[in-house]
Structure formats: C-alpha cells, structure tokens
C-alpha cells in the first residue's frame, strides 16, 4: 500500500511538471520588428539582445529582426554611434534609435584624412549636422559661437551681410588673428559663401599638433568644414523656409526734453528758458513733446531664407544639389541696409572602377548689399543716441522751421523723405540717404578630386581646388546739408572699384593603413600642396558729376571741371608645401602621432633668405579604460578614459604679403625744382622704406594636455584641456630709426604673445521612454599677455589706430606685461564736490586736474577672462524644444560717445543738488572721455535661441507622399543680461586695435522666426 501511494505521488508530480512546462512554453512569443534611425532609415546590423542574457540577433539588410522571447521580456537595442534603447517585447515592434553625439566611434575630419574620435590625440571640437540644422542663422561662422570651448566670435557690425571673425584660443598677433578656413579640402578666405544649411559638420583644430599639418597658415587655428553629400541608398527632395521679423533688441533710455534742458544749463554757459522759447518761435519744438529717436531711426524688418535640396544615389555614386536664396532687410529705416545672397551647391561622386572614384564639389555664390557706416566716429547710430529730443525727425514743407527755410533760400540742399518732408539738420537719416554705398560680388569655387585604391589600405588622392572671385563697390555722395559741420554743396562725386582674383590649389597625398599581428595599427600620410593666387584691382572716380540725377550718377558723367581719378594694380602670390604624418595605435590603448610640414612662400610674401618654414608636431594618448587591469576591476559606470598630450609649431602669414619687406620707392607729388631761376617742378622719387632681409613668419608653439571621459553607456561625456600658446616673431611696424635716414623701416619681427587657459566641455544625452533630452555646456578661460616688444619699436609701446576725435593717441595699446590691445587711459581719483570737476590719479597715485600721458594706465581689456555656452534640448513624440545661450565674463568696452546721452548715466552725474555723484558734471573734456568713467563691464549672457518645433506624424504625411514635415518657431537674441549701458555689449570697431570700442555699432537684433521643413 505504501509503494502504491509512492507511485501515485510520482505520477502526479510528473504530470504537474509537464503541465507547468506546457504553460511556460505557451507564454513564448515570436517577436518581429524593425530598427530605424531618426529619419526612418533601416539600421543594418543593429544588435537586439534579451536583457540579462547573451542571447540575441542582429537586424538584416532591411533593419528587421525576428526572435523567440517571453511576452513582456526586456529587449536591449544597440548600434554603433547611437544611444542604446530598451523596450518590452511585443509583436510588430518599431524601434527608433537616435544618434549619440558623443559616440567614440564617430568619425572626425582631420587635415588630409579622418580619424575615429576615440583615436584622437589632439584637441579637436566637432559640431555635427544635428546641432547645425537646429540653428536659425545666416552666417556659417555663427555655428561655432557658444558651441565649442575656446572659440570666440568677433563682430564689428550686426547689419545684414556683415562678416564676423572667429578667434581660437585667444589672440596670437598684433595684426590679424583669423584662423585658416578649409572647406572640403580647399582653402577659403572666409565662410561668407557657404550657406549654413549646406554644412554637414565643422571641426575646429585647436592645438598645434592637430593644426600643424597646415603649417604656415595654421598659427591661429584651423576650421574644417565638410559640406553635405548624397546619402547611400536614399533619394530625397527637401525644402526649408524661414521668415523672420527683426527688431532692435535693447533700448537704453535716452534723454527727455526736461533732461536735455538740465544738461544744456549745466554744459552751456548762459543757457536758459529763452533758448527754449526761441526753439518754439522758430518752429522746431511744440513746447511739450519729446522725440523718440529709436522710433525715428529703427523699424521692424523682414528676412526670408529659402533652400531646396535634391539628393540621390545608386550603387555607383551619390549627388547633392542645393539652391538657396537669402534676403535680409536691416532695422534702419529707408532700406539702406539690405543684403541678398544666392548660392548654388553641387556635390557628387562616382565609383568609375573598383579602384578609382571621382568627386566634384562646386559652389556658386552671388550677393549684393547696401550698407551704412557704423564703425567710425559720428556713425548714424551714434548720432541717433545723441540727438536732442526737442527736434522732430522731419518737418513738412508747410511747417518748416524758420532756420531751415533760410538754408533753402541760401541754396543749401535739405534731404527729403519719400513723403516730401524735410529731415531736420543733424538727423542721422540724412547720413543714411546722402551716402549711396553699394557692393556686389560673385564667386565660383570648389574642387575636382580623384581617389585611387589599387590595394587594401592604400588611398592616393589628387585634388584641384579653384576659386574665381569678383567684387564691385559703388559709392556716391549727394548734395546735402546735415548741420553746420556736415554739408556738401560742391562735390557729388562717384567712385567705382573692382577686385578680382583667381585661386588654384593642387594637392596630391597618400594615406596608408596597415595592421600588423592584429594589435599594431599603423597609419601614414604624405603629400604636397601648391597654391597660386592672381589678384587684380582697378578703380575710377570723379569728384563731381554733371547732374544730380539717377541717370547720371556714375563715373561716365563727370562735370566739366571735375577731377578724374584712376588706379589699378595686379599681384601674384604662390606657395608650395610638403607634409607628412604617421600614427601608431596599439590595441586601442596606446596612441602616438607625429607630423611635419615644410612651407615655402614666394618673394611677394617673404625674402628669399627666409622663405622656408618647418613646422613639426607630436602627440600621444593613453586609453586607460583599455588596460587589462581596468577592464578586469572596473566596477564604475565609466566606459572610457583617455589621457593625451601634444606639442607643435605653427606659422602665420595673415599679416604678410605685397613685398612688405622690400625697399620700396615713393613719389613726392609736390614736385622738386632743380634750378634756382627756373621754377619748373618735376615729380621726385625717393627711397620710401628700408629693406629687411630677415623678415620671417610669425611662429606659434603650443603645448596641450587633456583627458576625455565617457560614462553611463556614453550618455555622459566630459573633456578637459589645458594649453599654453607662445607666439613669437610678431610683425611690427614703427621701428624708430635715425632721423637722417629720411625714410621708414620695413616691418620687423619684434614681439611675442602668450595665451594660456583651460577648456571644459560636458554633454549628457538620455531618454525616458519617448522623452529624449540633452544638456551640453562648455567653458573656456583665457589669460593673454604681451611678453616681448623690441624697445626700439615706438619707444616700447604701440598705440592703437582708433582714437577719440581731437585726441593725439588711440584708446588701446600693445605693451609688454599687459593683455594685447588693452584700454589705456586715465583713472579718475575723485569728483570735486564743489565744482563737479574730475581729478585723475597720477603715476605716483596723487590726484591732479591736468594729467599727462605718463599718468595713463590699464583700464580694462576687450578679451574676456572666460567664455561659455549652454544648450538644452528636449523632444517628446513629435514636439522638440531647443534653448541655447552663450556669454562672456571679464571683458570691457569703451564707450566712444557721450555717456550723458543715456538717461541712466545722466542720473549719476554731479550737480549742485547731487554733490556726491559718481560721475563728473557734463563736459566734453578729452581727458575725461579718455578716462575709466567711459569704460564699462561688457560681460553678458545672451539667450541666442528658444526654438519650439512640431513634426507631423509620418503615418499621416505618407498619405501625401511626404516623408517628413516639421513646423517651428524661434525667438532669437530676445534676452541679454549685461551691465553695459549701451545698445549692445558685443562691440568692436575692427578686429585688432579697435576691439571693444563702441562708436555706435549696428546692434544685434532680436528676431521672431517662423519656419518649416518638408522632405519628400
């Protein structure tokens, strides 16, 4: 009986296990799905793994997969260069993956080749297509502002078509510090011809080791631009439209009529109510109103940007064709600041043979513009800020003031607006309309290339770059009366200028990749480059035309007594270079790279004795996370750690050219008489400049140390760099030579500069279900100092060329122990409480009313102590949001116009009722305007963009043959936080000694932008 019960128990147990097993097997399901990217392109070879086990599959050529799992199991999807995704297993899965902008397998463009980001040993910042396409900008240079640590954008004007300049790791020259631009392998002067919508990626080569492969032209860093190309196995048509409304972003309060009256009584002796009564009697003022000169000068202006792209491909080749048109109307009334740009780009490649491929990159660029003067003293914006509020902007012919009628009766020409009303004398709109300044140009540029791969690992590239550039300028001054010191009654001249250049760049180089014994990876590159530029400049002018009529406003119609002018010259510049690079990688753990470039310039740039320059570099990296001890014992979330260091030498030819070293001759136009009786004068020729056979390149040496870190499945990335850059042999003019020489010295190599700083970049990319978000931030410090200047050069100090009207010297100086082009002026000691007069500190620290030149000191600097940027993005379902801001800290600006024109500063002035004031009583004393009371903290943070977009679901758009349809709205430059009291804290008159000086710069505008993107 006992045995029978045991048998029964066993039977029931087996049955229970069988039923349980069948139950478990019943929960197994077959999961089918597809893995796609953001553009719904299938991802081939994506990994699909059941979480917690090693079982998994990879997607096929169509991005599809099939596997057996239990319903509800968690699947992990991964793909090289994309963020990992986790999803619960369900039938008919559609899994969308998003690119990881910090992926270690991402390919980065370097000089004459590409490298994986994980293999880099230098300091390179990379901006990819996704970050570019979210920006609503018209200039390619703006892509880098606030996005790359150590990169700063310098702007002298924000009017349409203005060209900003990039600075990389400080300022390396007392002249131009502009970097080298290379677009698809071809050297460009700037990026004005490239539409931002056509850019695939931008790389900034910041350290000398990365940039030294470009040798003599890389002393200020290198910006590499890669334009878009056709996508493999995909053809499309896309259209992008942007319409924006632009307005003045900041409006500091100006003086009211009550304020102006107080100002006049304090500034002008004897000014009284009688003067106001005279204004009313003459018809200038109605006795109550205050003119808003912002409203009189500025308006809401539109801008329209249209772009259409065609891409296609097959098994043999790809193509990309883009047509783009931009129209920008500035915020100054009267359509006086307008820019139009038309560009056409074609990129294509074709695999002719298995071992040979050809490619072409071609870009046509046509533009025209009208501009106003906003960088000189007395600019139209400076005048608007200082205009009296008593005057109306215009007066009708029926109500013209008596003094204006008297001017008309005396034969003066008063400018009228489109309604026939007369502009009041002093109105800045007079300057806008009396000066007709136009410019236009066209450029055809690009490259033809052939790629030979006769055997595995070997690539020979031959590339011919070209550029045909043409520029035309037209200027016409009309008869007008502006005010007592500004009028033209005699000369309504016209001037035309034309410049053209043809540039060729032929390069041949080899890349060879070899792996030995699985773990030793070698890469070698060697090549040569030859370039030639042919320049032509011609011009013609007449100081008076036959009639002030649109039909005759050209140089073909001079008046009978007109003075005619003509000029012209042509030049040729050539250079040749040989270069090479070798790299070694052991187990992706130890990295080493070295490069060398030899450059030679022709005699138009350097004398024969110094035409060759040698530029070496070396860099190394240690990937700690690939060490066995790390792989074995790592219990952290850190995926990747790399230490790297580099050293290199670069040169700069930005400030060389046109035989600047030569012993040139000059003409004494006043003439010379060889007789004491016959006073017949002949033109004299004399040696104008001494010869300098020792002139050579400006040379920079830079060391860089940094590390790269990735963590949490590469969702977090962090990069840090420390650098020190020393530039020597600066080109300097103004060498003091004996007076009896009778001429001047040629430029000499006589100065040195040091730039030093830290750079930090951090990125976080993640998702929570369908909600994706990212945070990116960067910060860079900068310490800049002049370390050497030959004592014989301008007595040890070079003064800047930008000066206050009536001042004998400029605002800025180049001097040992100070930052480059620092602000040099007087420091106010105190304000006399009895008189309101300013007392200045002497060199000895004593107060004085009458300071001397030796009492001047450093008042500030235009370069910031650090720059920074932050970008926030978020996306959910079809909605996306991007917020981007950038700023500077520690830089100053010198206000080149009266601070008392601004209400906030006017309220801080001394007066009998305010004896303890911060500012002196209103005055126009030059010493006071050259003091620290006109130098302000120009640090700022600007919210550059707030953009919200929505993408229509594809299941809906597909019904209308539309692959992608997105609408968006953007608020650009709406919020600026700064202590600077002027219109815009980001000011400069020029890119060198005029940095940080405000002469009424055309301010950054805020814009409300509406856009759509559609792809078929």
The predicted pLDDT at position 400 comes to 95
Average pLDDT for 251-278: 93
- Predicted confidence (pLDDT) at residue 409 exceeds the cutoff of 80: yes
> In b/e form, how buried is each residue of 88-119, taking b as 16+ CB within 10 angstroms?
ebeeebebbbbbbbbbbebebbbbbbebebbb
> 856-889, pLDDT tens digit by residue?
999 999 999 999 999 999 999 999 999 999 999 9
The number of beta carbons lying within 10 Å of the beta carbon of residue 727 is 27
> For residue 691, what pLDDT is reported?
86
- What pLDDT, on a 0 to 100 scale, did the predictor assign at position 859? 97
Which tokens is 548 given?
């002030």
Cα separation, 412 vs 848, whole angstroms: 47
Q: What is the pLDDT of residues 90-105, one digit of tens each?
A: 888 888 887 776 565 6
Give mean pLDDT, residues 99-123. Answer: 81
The pLDDT value recorded for residue 875 is 94
Say whether pLDDT at 995 is over 60.
yes
Residue 37 pLDDT: 81
d(CA 216, CA 600): 9
* Residue 747: pLDDT band with limits 50, 70, 90: confident
Q: What is the pLDDT of residue 670?
A: 59
Predicted local distance difference test score (pLDDT) of residue 19: 42
Mean pLDDT value across residues 588-616: 93
Q: Region 108-133: what's the mean pLDDT?
A: 88
Mean pLDDT of 152-165: 92
- C-alpha to C-alpha distance for 946 and 928, rounded to whole angstroms: 42
Going by pLDDT thresholds of 50, 70 and 90, the confidence category of residue 24 is very low
Lowest mean pLDDT among 571-575, 622-626, 633-637, 980-984: 633-637
Place of tokens 């970050």: 131
Angle, alpha carbons 436-438-439 (nearest 5°): 165
Name 759's bridge partners: 721, 780
Strongest mean pLDDT among 161-165, 370-374, 843-847: 843-847
For the CA atoms of 957, 958, 959, 960, the dihedral, rounded to the nearest 10 degrees, stands at 70
pLDDT score of 387 more than 70: yes
Burial of residue 571, with CB atoms counted within 10 A of its CB: 0-12 exposed, 13-18 middle, 19 or more buried: middle
Q: How far is Cα 890 from Cα 870, in angstroms, rounded to an integer?
A: 18
Least-confidence region, from 301-310, 331-340, 477-486, 971-980: 477-486
CA distances from 35 to 59, 233, 768, 928 (A): 7, 17, 18, 70
How far apart, in Å, are the Cα atoms of 399 and each of 280, 405, 482, 715?
Answer: 12, 10, 19, 70
User: pLDDT digit string (tens) for 619-678?
Assistant: 999 999 999 988 888 778 898 999 999 999 999 888 888 888 888 777 766 566 666 666
Residue 54: pLDDT band (50, 70, 90) is low
- The predicted-structure confidence for 4-17, as pLDDT tens digits, reads as follows 454 454 444 544 44
At residue 394, does pLDDT exceed 60? yes
pLDDT of residue 21: 44
Stretch 409-420: mean pLDDT: 91
**Which residues, in sequence order, are bridge partners of residue 788?**
752
Answer for the pair 1014, 247: CB distance below 8 angstroms, yes or no: no
Per-residue pLDDT at 20: 46
Average pLDDT, the chain: 89
- Give the dihedral sign, CA 891/896/899/903: negative
Percent of the chain with pLDDT over 70: 94
Give residue 682's pLDDT: 66
Across the range 128-141, mean pLDDT stands at 86
Q: What is the CA radius of gyration of the chain?
A: 34
pLDDT of residue 947: 96
The average pLDDT across 280-289 equals 94
The DSSP letter of residue 981 is: -
**First-residue to last-residue Cα distance in the chain:** 82
* DSSP E strand boundaries for 189-274: 199-205, 222-227, 236-248
Give the least confident one: 152-161, 308-317, 631-640: 631-640
Which pLDDT score is estimated for 548? Answer: 87
**Average of pLDDT values for 349-375?**
93
The dihedral built from the CA positions of residue 798, 803, 809 and 813, taken in this order, carries a sign that is negative
**What DSSP line would sit under 870-899, residue for residue?**
EEEEEEETTEEEEEEEEEEES-EEEE-S-G
Task: Give the mean model confidence (pLDDT) for residues 994-1009.
Answer: 93
Give pLDDT, residue 677: 66
CA distances from 583 to 462, 515, 523, 578, 595 (A): 22, 12, 5, 18, 9
- Distance (Å, rounded) from C-alpha 803 to C-alpha 687? 30
pLDDT in tens, 34-46: 998 876 778 877 8
Question: Which pLDDT score, from 0 to 100, does residue 69 have?
Answer: 86
Q: What is the pLDDT of residue 78?
A: 83
Q: For the residues 421-436, what does the mean pLDDT come to?
A: 90
Rounded mean pLDDT, 560-576: 93
Q: Are strands 93-96 and 28-36 parallel, antiparallel or unpaired?
A: parallel
Q: What angle do CA 243, 249, 253 make, to 5 degrees?
A: 150
In whole angstroms, how far apart are CA 129 and each of 201, 572, 920? 6, 37, 53
- Using alpha carbons, list the distances in angstroms from residue 447 to 147, 183, 218, 525, 573: 29, 10, 21, 20, 20
Q: How confident is the model at residue 18 (pLDDT cuts 50, 70, 90)?
A: very low
Q: Which of 119-133, 267-281, 553-567, 891-905 has the lowest mean pLDDT?
A: 119-133
Contact assessment for residue 1016 and residue 911, using Cβ atoms and an 8 Å cutoff: no
Mean pLDDT of 226-238: 84
- Picking from 217-226, 545-554, 665-674, 851-860, which range would have the lowest pLDDT averaged per residue? 665-674
For strands 892-895 and 997-998, give the pairing: parallel
Token couple for 482: 């502006």
Within 8 A by CB and 6+ apart from 476, the residues are: 435, 436, 492, 493, 494, 495, 553
């Amino acid at each position: 009986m006992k045995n029978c019960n045991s048998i029964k128990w066993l039977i029931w147990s087996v049955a229970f296990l069988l039923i349980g097993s069948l139950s478990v097997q019943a929960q197994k399901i077959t999961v089918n799905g597809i893995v796609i990217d953001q553009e719904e392109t299938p991802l081939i070879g994506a990994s699909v793994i059941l979480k917690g086990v090693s079982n998994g599959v990879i997607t096929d050529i169509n991005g599809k997969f099939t596997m057996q799992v239990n319903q509800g199991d968690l699947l992990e999807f991964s793909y090289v260069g994309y963020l990992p995704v986790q999803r619960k297993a369900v039938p008919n899965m559609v899994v969308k993956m998003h690119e990881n902008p910090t992926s270690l397998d991402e390919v980065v463009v370097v000089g004459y080749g590409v490298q994986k980001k994980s293999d880099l040993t230098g300091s390179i910042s990379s901006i990819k297509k996704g970050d570019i396409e979210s920006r609503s900008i018209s200039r390619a240079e703006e892509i880098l502002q606030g996005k790359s640590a150590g990169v700063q954008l310098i702007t002298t004007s924000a009017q349409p078509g203005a060209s900003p300049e990039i600075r990389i790791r400080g300022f390396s020259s007392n002249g131009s510090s502009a970097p080298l631009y290379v677009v698809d392998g071809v050297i460009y002067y700037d990026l004005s011809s490239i539409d931002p919508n056509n850019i695939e990626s931008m790389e900034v080569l910041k350290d000398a080791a990365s940039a030294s492969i470009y040798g003599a032209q890389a002393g200020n860093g290198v910006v590499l631009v890669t334009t878009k190309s056709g996508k493999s196995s995909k053809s499309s048509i896309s259209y992008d439209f942007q319409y924006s409304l632009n307005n003045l972003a900041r409006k500091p309060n100006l003086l009211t009529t009550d304020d102006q009256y107080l100002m006049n009584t304090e500034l002008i002796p004897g000014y009284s109510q009688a003067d106001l009564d005279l204004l009313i009697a003459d018809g200038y003022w109605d006795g109550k109103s205050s003119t808003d000169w912002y409203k009189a000068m500025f308006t809401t202006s539109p801008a329209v940007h249209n772009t259409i792209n065609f891409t296609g491909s097959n098994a043999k080749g790809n193509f990309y064709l883009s047509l783009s048109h931009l129209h920008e109307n500035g915020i100054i009334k009267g359509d006086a600041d307008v820019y139009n740009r038309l560009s056409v780009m074609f990129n294509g490649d074709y695999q002719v043979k298995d071992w040979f491929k050809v490619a072409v990159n071609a870009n046509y660029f046509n533009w025209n513009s009208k501009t106003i003067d906003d960088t000189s003293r007395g600019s139209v914006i400076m005048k608007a800020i200082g205009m009296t509020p008593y005057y109306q902007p215009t007066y009708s012919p029926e109500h013209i003031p008596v003094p204006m009628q008297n001017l008309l009766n005396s034969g003066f020409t008063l400018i009228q607006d489109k309604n026939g009303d007369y502009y009041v004398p002093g109105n800045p709109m007079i300057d806008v309309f009396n000066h007709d300044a136009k410019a236009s140009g066209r450029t055809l540029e690009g490259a033809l290339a052939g790629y030979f791969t006769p055997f595995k690992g070997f690539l020979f590239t031959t590339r011919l770059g070209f550029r045909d550039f043409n520029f035309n300028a037209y200027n016409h001054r009309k008869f007008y009366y502006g005010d007592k010191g500004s009028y033209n009654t005699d000369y309504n001249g016209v001037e035309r200028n034309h410049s053209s250049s043809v540039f060729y760049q032929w390069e041949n180089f080899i890349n060879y990749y070899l792996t030995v014994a699985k773990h030793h990876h070698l890469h070698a590159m060697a090549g040569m480059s030859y370039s030639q530029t042919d320049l032509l400049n011609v011009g013609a002018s007449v100081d008076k035309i036959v009639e002030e009529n649109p039909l005759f406003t050209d140089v073909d119609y001079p008046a009978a007594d007109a003075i005619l002018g003509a000029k012209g010259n042509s030049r040729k510049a050539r250079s040749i270079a040989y270069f090479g690079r070798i790299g070694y990688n052991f187990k992706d753990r130890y990295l080493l790279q070295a490069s060398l470039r030899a450059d030679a310039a022709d005699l138009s740039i350097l004398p024969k004795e110094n035409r060759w320059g040698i530029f070496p570099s070396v860099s190394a990296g240690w990937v700690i996370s690939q060490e066995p001890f790390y792989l074995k014992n790592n219990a952290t979330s850190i995926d990747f750690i790399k230490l790297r260091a580099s050293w290199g030498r670069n040169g700069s030819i930005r400030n060389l050219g046109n035989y600047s070293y030569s012993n040139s001759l000059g003409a004494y136009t006043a003439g010379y008489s060889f007789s004491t009786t016959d006073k017949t004068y002949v033109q004299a020729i004399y040696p104008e400049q001494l010869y300098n056979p020792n002139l050579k390149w400006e040379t920079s040496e830079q060391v860089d140390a940094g590390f790269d870190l990735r963590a949490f499945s590469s969702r977090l990335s962090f990069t840090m760099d420390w650098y020190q850059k020393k530039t020597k042999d600066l080109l300097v003019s103004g060498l003091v030579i004996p007076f009896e020489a009778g001429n001047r010295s040629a430029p000499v190599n006589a100065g040195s500069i040091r730039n030093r700083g830290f750079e930090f970049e951090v990125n976080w990319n993640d998702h929570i279900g369908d909600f994706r978000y990212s945070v990116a931030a960067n910060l860079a410090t900068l310490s800049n100092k002049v370390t050497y200047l030959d004592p014989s050069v301008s007595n040890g100090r070079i003064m800047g060329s930008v000066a206050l009207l009536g001042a004998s010297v400029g605002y800025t100086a180049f001097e040992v122990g100070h930052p480059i082009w620092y602000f040099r002026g007087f420091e106010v000691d105190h304000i006399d409480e009895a008189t309101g007069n300013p007392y200045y500190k002497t060199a000895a620290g004593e107060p004085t009313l009458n300071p001397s030149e030796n009492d001047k000191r450093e008042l500030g600097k235009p370069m910031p102590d650090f720059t920074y940027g932050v970008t926030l993005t978020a996306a959910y379902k079809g909605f996306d949001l991007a917020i981007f801001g950038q700023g500077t800290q520690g830089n100053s600006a010198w206000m080149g116009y009266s601070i008392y024109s601004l209400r906030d500063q006017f309220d801080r002035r001394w007066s009998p009722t305010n004896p303890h004031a911060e500012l002196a009583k209103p005055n126009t004393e030059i010493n006071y305007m050259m003091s620290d009371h006109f130098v302000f903290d120009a640090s700022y943070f600007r919210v550059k963009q707030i953009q919200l977009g929505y993408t229509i679901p594809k299941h809906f758009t597909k019904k209308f043959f539309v692959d992608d349809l997105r609408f968006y709205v953007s608020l650009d430059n709406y919020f600026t936080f700064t202590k600077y009291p002027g219109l815009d804290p980001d000011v400069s008159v020029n890119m060198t000694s005029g940095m940080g000086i405000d002469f009424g710069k055309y301010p950054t505008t805020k814009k409300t932008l509406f856009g759509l993107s559609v792809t078929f």
